[in-house]
């Protein structure tokens, strides 16, 4: 199954649920050169992809360093937001204080997009190893605080931070460096044809090297970082502070 009910709501313009996540991201917002190149790619994809393909707005593009709380865990009222922020601030500060934490700016390369079934993504080359270094520091800081992050899709040892309210989930460290560009609001009629159409547009992409100056922790109060052009108001921690 490629279709996603959350994406179907986004595609229809339906108001999203009140779900909210906490994510540590970098390369967001993207540099103007990336936004311009992506808008061209997006236009071409819209011309060739079948019904059901939802192509992300440029403002959503980001690289997740760590998911502190997935938005799929449900709503967060003001009290829970402050509780979770207070729990995570010292962990983020401890990670940033480690010798291994990367200096800035660091470089990423945005490679040709690929359609990997349920999602189309840009995979990045972590040219300076900075994303992996941040993840390593966060892993250590989370464990020092008494928690344990899920690694990729392996949740077997994951444990929320002590003091996390009941019903909240553990953090998750991705095992790839990427940005999502496409998901599905409904099943495509022909998956093979969809992959072929995507690939023909993707091969025109010229890989881009970008400089990244910070990582930021964000209240993800719209699914998949659909925070609009004023999303910086959702930032509650920055590695540059």
pLDDT digits (tens, 9 = 90+) for 6-40: 999 999 988 777 899 999 999 999 999 999 999 99
Burial code (b: 16+ CB inside 10 Å, e: under 16) for 43-55 equals ebbeeebeebbbb
pLDDT of residue 129: 98
DSSP 178: E
Confidence of residue 1 (pLDDT cuts 50, 70, 90): very high
| Locus of tokens 């917002």 | 29
Mean pLDDT over residues 69-81, rounded?
Answer: 95
> Comparing 15 with 143, which gets the higher pLDDT?
143
Edge-first strand order for the sheet with 215-220 is: 150-151, 172-173, 63-69, 21-26, 215-220, 235-238
pLDDT of residue 167: 87
Q: What is the pTM of this model?
A: 0.96
If one counts every other C-beta atom within 10 angstroms of the C-beta of residue 119, the result is 18
Beta strand 53-55 with 21-26: parallel, antiparallel or unpaired? Answer: unpaired
pLDDT of residue 14: 83
Mean pLDDT of all residues belonging to the chain: 96
DSSP 241: -
Say if residue 220's pLDDT is above 80: yes
124/111 Cα distance (integer angstroms): 6
DSSP 63: E
Contact in structure between 86 and 212 (CB atoms under 8 Å): no
Say if residue 60's pLDDT is above 90: yes
Mean pLDDT over residues 73-83, rounded?
Answer: 95
Say if residue 84's pLDDT is above 80: yes
């Amino acid at each position: 199954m490629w279709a996603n009910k959350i994406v179907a709501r986004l595609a229809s313009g339906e108001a999203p649920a009140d779900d909210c996540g906490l994510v540590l991201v970098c390369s967001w917002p993207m540099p103007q050169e990336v936004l311009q190149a992506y808008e061209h790619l997006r236009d071409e994809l819209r011309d060739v992809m079948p019904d059901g393909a939802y192509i992300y707005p440029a403002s959503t593009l980001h690289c997740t360093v760590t998911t502190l709380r997935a938005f799929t865990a449900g709503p967060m009222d003001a009290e829970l937001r402050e509780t979770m922020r207070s729990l995570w601030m010292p962990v983020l500060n401890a990670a940033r204080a480690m010798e291994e934490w990367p200096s800035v700016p660091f470089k990423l390369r945005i490679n040709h997009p690929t359609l990997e079934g349920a999602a189309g993504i840009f995979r990045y080359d972590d040219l300076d190893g900075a994303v992996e270094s941040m993840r390593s520091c966060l892993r250590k800081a989370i464990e020092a605080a008494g928690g344990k992050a899920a690694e990729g899709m392996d949740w077997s040892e994951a444990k929320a931070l002590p003091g996390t309210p009941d019903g909240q989930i553990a953090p998750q460290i991705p095992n790839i460096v990427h940005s999502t560009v496409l998901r599905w609001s409904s099943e495509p009629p022909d998956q093979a044809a969809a992959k072929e159409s995507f690939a023909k547009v993707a091969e025109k992409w010229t890989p881009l090297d970008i400089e990244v100056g910070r990582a930021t922790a964000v209240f993800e109060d719209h699914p998949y970082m659909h925070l609009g052009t004023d999303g910086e108001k959702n930032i509650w921690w920055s590695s540059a502070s």
